[in-house]
Structure 1
Amino acid sequence: MTTPTEHESTAAAKPAWKRFLPIGIIVIALIAFFATGLNEYFTVDAIAENQSTLKEFARDNLVLAMLAVVVIYAIATAISAPVGSIFTLLSGFILGTLYGGIAVVVGATIGATIIFYAGREAAGDTLAKLGGEKMKNLEEGFAKDAMSYMFILRLVPLFPFFVVNLAAAAFRVPAKSYVIATFFGIMPGTFVFASVGAGFSSITESENIGAGILLQPEIIGPIIGLVVLSLVPIIYKKIKGEDTAEPSENGA
């Protein structure tokens, strides 16, 4: 059994309300997000209604638009609002693949880091005990190689994003490893989704919309990327399954 770190001992010494206050604020913010109807702004209909205004603003104020995406995405990620995919598509639609992808990666990393520290302050053994067998599997993975395992969890969405955030906090993944693995691990998926959004933008701006437009590089490329991205978890699980089965077969 590992001995408590100085941080863990200090956190345990704090009153319970102080330790759980950051998580409590995040939960309240998530409830307010739905109660005030803010979630309605992150829909396909809302994007369609405001696309001209948003794109015009982004063209005239690129840096400000990117900063807005970073802030909004950071807040949405920190409170675990279920708008990640649609907002990434929106970012690509408004800012393009490159600028939209960069803004999302930065915002998501900041938001994930916020909830990581909030969870680390409150979690400790509590989250680990509540998580059951799946959380135990995560604990074993982090214990072997925190950086590599964290990167895989970001690259291959085996668990929901917010679950990985809290699990990393519960099992004391080093903050540096967490941030680096998150930043680089979410890049492939983010840029694929952003490129899909940019592809939608190409369709809406095209003057000759027909079957042939689907064969354009800016359209077919993101579609292929999305298909490949969806196959990654299946391939990973198959490879891991074969690796796990191999010792048993050799020993039979």
Structure 2
Amino acid sequence: MKFKRVTLVTINRLAKFIVSLSLFIAIAFAVQQGFFEHIADSNWVAKFVKEQGKQAVVVLMAMGAAYAALGAPRQLLAFAFGFAFGAVEGALLALVATELGCILSFYAAKWLFRSSLQRKFNKSLMKFERLVKDNTTLKVLMIRLLPIGSNLFTNVAAGATTVPAQGFFLGSFIGYIPQTLIFAYAGAGIGLSEHEKILISIALFIVSSVIGSLLYRSQFRRKVQEL
């Protein structure tokens, strides 16, 4: 029985090593081939879509998810997709790709790197866990909306702790929407009418006021900055 347990542990470690090595090789290959430069290049994305048609969507979504999973600026992704696909479709595709990237980095941290991350960054991870474990969706939404912190750190920290996955993904998805829409529309070159600008300004003011009140009442901003 003891031998069987040791064998299972060894197989598990070997499997993690093989998957991790494969992941690093794939990332190195993607960097060497310039994939991540291409996915943030509006002209390249538009040309690729024109040449490949609808088949390009699957490839670009995979590239976009990998790009977002590594913590690259999701705003550039939204801009490039907005330029290539138009504002609405580009925003939707960029939002899905960004969320997929969030899920990838979350589970990579949970399944492959959790032990090593906890050994090296235990103090910061425990702070993060205490911060967002309760009311996860709302708190993660706040983090995504705040102009502070690292997208990659947030994903990895959540994966390396016991933060609920469902609440984390939902809060992230909703929190990604505002900037994704803004940059996709900017990429598409669509101007808004004065009436639309006023409505958006009012909506943003209300949302900002509510979130700001919640943030400062709970001293959430200070706690996030201390991570």
Q: 1:28 aligns with which of 25, 28, 36?
A: 25
Shift, 1:108, TM fit: 1.7
CA contact (8 A) 1:120 1:172 kept: no
Question: Equivalents in 1 of 2:137, 2:59: separation in Å?
Answer: 30
1:154 aligns with 2:154: no
Question: Equivalents in 1 of 2:160, 2:74: separation in Å?
Answer: 23
The corresponding residue for 2:87 is: 97
| Percent of aligned positions that are identical | 20
- Look up the SS of the partner of 1:159 in the other structure: coil
User: Which one-letter code corresponds to 1:165 in the other structure?
Assistant: N
Unaligned runs of 5+ in 2: 1-7, 221-227
CA contact (8 A) 1:123 1:169 kept: no
Question: Equivalents in 1 of 2:55, 2:193: separation in Å?
Answer: 25
More relative contact order, 1 or 2 (CA 8 Å, 6+ apart)? 2
Q: 1:192 aligns with which of 182, 196, 201?
A: 182
Unaligned runs of 5+ in 1: 1-10, 203-215, 246-252
1:124 aligns with 2:114: yes
- Look up the SS of the partner of 2:180 in the other structure: helix
1:115 aligns with 2:112: no
The corresponding residue for 2:225 is: none
Question: Equivalents in 1 of 2:30, 2:45: separation in Å?
Answer: 22
- With the length of structure 1 as denominator, give the TM-score of the two structures: 0.63
Cα 1:51–1:218 change in 2 (3 A) is: farther
Q: 2:63 aligns with which of 46, 57, 72?
A: 72
Deviations 1:144-172 (A, max 9, x none): 23332223233335322221111111112
Q: 2:192 aligns with which of 213, 217, 221?
A: 217
Aligned residue pairs: how many?
A: 204
The corresponding residue for 1:141 is: 131
Question: Equivalents in 2 of 1:157, 1:72: separation in Å?
Answer: 25
Question: Equivalents in 1 of 2:67, 2:40: separation in Å?
Answer: 14
Question: Equivalents in 1 of 2:67, 2:46: separation in Å?
Answer: 24
- Look up the SS of the partner of 1:217 in the other structure: coil
- With the length of structure 2 as denominator, give the TM-score of the two structures: 0.69
Cα 1:239–1:138 change in 2 (3 A) is: same
The corresponding residue for 1:19 is: 16
CA contact (8 A) 2:141 2:172 kept: yes
Question: Equivalents in 2 of 1:143, 1:12: separation in Å?
Answer: 29
User: What CA RMSD, in Å, does the superposition of the two structures yield over aligned residues?
Assistant: 3.7
User: Which one-letter code corresponds to 1:19 in the other structure?
Assistant: K
